Chain A
């Protein structure tokens, strides 16, 4: 059973464009929502995270939008760059500290 649903599976964006990745969850016990970035041959690494008492968090070109009532959250990458090409995973973390990841989105930014 997939605890976190992520879409799209792949995304192609022109340099300078906006990349948007969406995630949804059902379990209301989740209370921490990080996004991880993974480059080929590497393990995922934390990109940005949000708590459910905040509706938006921005760090540089990366923004998380969080809708608690809809149980949805999304990652926006502004001014997308070729170096952003990677696989992105959303995650939901339970109060018991278990991390559940989405299926991943492969982002390609075309120069």
Chain B
């Protein structure tokens, strides 16, 4: 398996633009997480899906952020409109729902909003 695949790896956009980050989880994994990594706050859990259903989105910073998982093999995180403070590395991770198993992370998307 190729692991968790995220695209793009890098994104530079202007303030106010819409940004869409994409994630393909590992086949067979039914839990998917989106995280944001910054120096100040480390890895922040943004949203968690189980079987394509959002279970906990309490970490989504504000209404500008939205996430979808239309099927078991694809998820998106959208920021509209983007702001400079959204600049961070965004990670997607997936795992099976079995307790105590590893969450596998993608390589991340480095977002820069100028």
Which residues of A are in contact with B by a Cβ distance under 8 Å? Answer: 2, 6, 31-32, 34, 36, 41-46, 49, 51, 89, 93, 95-104
Other A-B contacts than A43-B108, A49-B100, 6 sampled, CB-CB below 8 A, are A43-B105, A46-B102, A51-B100, A95-B99, A97-B99, A104-B43
Q: With contacts defined as CB atoms under 8 Å apart, how many contacts are there between chain A and chain B in the complex?
A: 60
Provide the main secondary structure of the chain B interface. Answer: strand
Which residues of B are in contact with A by a Cβ distance under 8 Å? Answer: 4, 31, 33, 35, 40-45, 48, 50, 55-56, 91, 93, 95, 97, 99-100, 102-108
Which of A43, A51, A98, A101 is packed against the most chain B CB atoms within 10 Å?
Answer: A43
Q: Is the CB of B42 within 8 A of A98?
A: no
With the chains together, A104 CA to B44 CA distance in Å? 11
Q: Is the CB of B107 within 8 A of A41?
A: yes
Q: Is the CB of B100 within 8 A of A102?
A: no
CB distance from A101 to the nearest CB of B (A): 4
